[in-house]
C-alpha cells in the first residue's frame, strides 16, 4: 500500500514534533531539579559504593583454617623412654662348703679301715691319686663292698681340674670263683661325691645266677629281710641297701644296691 502526504500533512507533523521538544527542560534546568529534589541520592550512592568496597576487601577465611586458629596448639608428644635392662635373676648355685671337723674325723676313720685291707686300700689309693682325696675313704669302703672277694678290674673317672670338688666314679668288672655260691662274671658301678655335710655315695653290683630266684633267695645273708615287691620283683632289705631278684627263665639276676649318706 502507498501512503501519499500533502504539504499540509507534513507541516502538521513538524508542528507536533516542535511542541514535544518545547515540553523537555534544558539540561541545566534538569540538573537543578535533581539538586532541588534533595541531596540524599548522591550520598546514598556513595554509601553503597563504600559498603561494597568494604565487603570486597574483607579477608575470606576458610572454615578449616578458622577452626585451626581457634583451637589451642597441640603439645609435643613425649619422647619414648627406653626400657630398663633386665638383670639376670638366675640363682647362682652355691658352692659346696668343705666338711666340718666331725665329717673329717669320720672320713679319716674310713681311710684307716680301708688301708688295713688290700682290696679297699686299692680303691683308697686310686681316689687319692685321681685328686679326689676328700671322699677317698667313702670311695674305698663302697669299692670293698662291691668286689666282695672277687677278682676285679676298675676304670675310674674324675673331673679335671678340681677333682676334689666333684664326684669320683668307677665301673668294675668282676670274676667270682666260689663253688658253694657263685662262679662266673659280674659287674658293678660305684661313685662318691663331696657334700656340704661330708661325702655321699652308692654302689650297684649285678650278678647273673644260673639258678632260679627261689634258689637264689636261700643264699641271702641272715640279716636280709623280705620287703614289699617292686613291680612284681622280690626285694630283700640289707644294712644300707637292698637286693632285688630279677628272674629270666630258669636263671636269676641279683642286683645289690648299697648307699652311704650323711
Residue 66 lies in a domain: no
Of 65-74, 115-124, 175-184, the range with the highest mean pLDDT is 175-184
pLDDT band at 51, cuts 50/70/90? very low
Q: What is the distance between the alpha carbons of residues 216 and 221, in angstroms, rounded to a whole number?
A: 11
pLDDT at position 128: 92
Tell me: the pLDDT tens digits for 170-196?
999 999 998 888 999 999 999 999 988
Residue 72 lies in a domain: no
Residue 170 lies in a domain: yes
Residue 208 lies in a domain: yes
Choice among 22-26, 144-148, 220-224 with the minimum mean pLDDT: 22-26
Q: Which domain holds residue 124?
A: 101-260
Q: Which residue has the higher pLDDT, 69 or 242?
A: 242
Choice among 39-48, 98-107, 165-174 with the minimum mean pLDDT: 39-48
pLDDT at position 100: 59
Long-range contacts of 209-217 (CB under 8 A, 24+ apart): 209/182, 209/251, 209/252, 209/253, 209/254, 210/184, 210/250, 210/251, 211/250, 211/251, 211/252, 212/247, 212/250, 212/251, 212/252, 213/245, 213/246, 213/247, 213/252, 215/252, 216/245, 216/252, 216/254, 217/245
pLDDT at position 91: 58
Residue 75 lies in a domain: no
Buried b / exposed e along 87-112 (16+ C-beta atoms within 10 A)? eeeeeeeeeeeebeeebeebbeebbe
Q: How many domains does the chain have?
A: 1
- Whether 104 has a pLDDT exceeding 90, the answer reads no
- Residue 174, judged by CB atoms within 10 A of its CB (0-12, 13-18, 19+), counts as buried
Residue 38 lies in a domain: no
pLDDT at position 67: 52
Cβ-contact 114, 123 below 8 angstroms: yes
Residue 25 lies in a domain: no
Residue 33 lies in a domain: no
Q: Which residue has the higher pLDDT, 56 or 125?
A: 125
Amino acid at each position: 500500500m502507498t501512503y501519499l502526504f500533502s504539504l499540509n500533512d507534513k507541516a502538521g507533523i513538524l508542528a507536533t514534533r516542535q511542541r514535544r521538544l518545547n515540553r523537555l527542560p534544558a539540561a541545566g534546568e534538569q540538573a537543578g531539579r535533581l539538586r532541588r529534589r534533595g541531596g540524599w541520592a548522591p550520598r546514598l550512592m556513595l554509601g553503597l559504593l563504600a559498603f561494597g568496597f568494604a565487603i570486597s576487601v574483607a579477608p575470606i577465611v576458610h572454615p578449616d583454617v578458622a577452626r585451626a586458629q581457634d583451637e589451642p596448639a597441640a603439645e609435643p608428644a613425649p619422647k619414648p623412654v627406653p626400657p630398663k635392662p633386665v638383670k639376670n635373676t638366675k640363682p647362682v648355685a652355691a658352692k659346696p662348703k668343705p666338711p666340718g671337723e666331725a665329717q673329717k674325723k669320720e672320713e679319716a676313720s674310713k681311710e684307716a679301715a680301708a688301708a688295713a685291707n688290700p682290696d679297699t686300700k686299692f680303691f683308697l689309693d686310686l681316689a687319692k691319686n685321681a685328686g679326689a682325696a676328700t671322699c677317698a675313704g667313702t670311695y674305698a669302703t663302697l669299692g670293698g663292698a662291691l668286689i666282695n672277694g672277687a677278682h676285679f678290674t676298675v676304670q675310674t673317672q674324675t673331673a679335671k681340674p678340681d677333682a676334689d670338688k666333684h664326684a669320683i666314679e668307677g665301673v668294675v668288672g668282676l670274676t667270682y670263683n666260689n663253688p658253694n655260691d657263685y662262679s662266673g662274671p659280674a659287674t658293678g658301678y660305684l661313685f662318691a661325691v663331696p657334700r656340704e655335710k661330708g661325702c655321699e655315695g652308692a654302689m650297684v653290683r649285678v650278678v647273673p645266677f644260673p639258678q632260679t630266684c627261689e634258689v637264689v633267695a636261700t643264699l641271702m645273708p641272715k640279716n636280709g629281710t623280705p620287703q614289699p615287691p617292686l613291680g612284681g620283683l622280690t626285694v630283700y632289705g640289707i644294712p644300707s641297701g637292698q637286693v632285688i631278684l630279677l628272674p629270666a627263665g630258669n636263671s636269676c639276676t641279683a642286683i645289690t644296691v648299697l648307699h652311704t649318706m650323711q
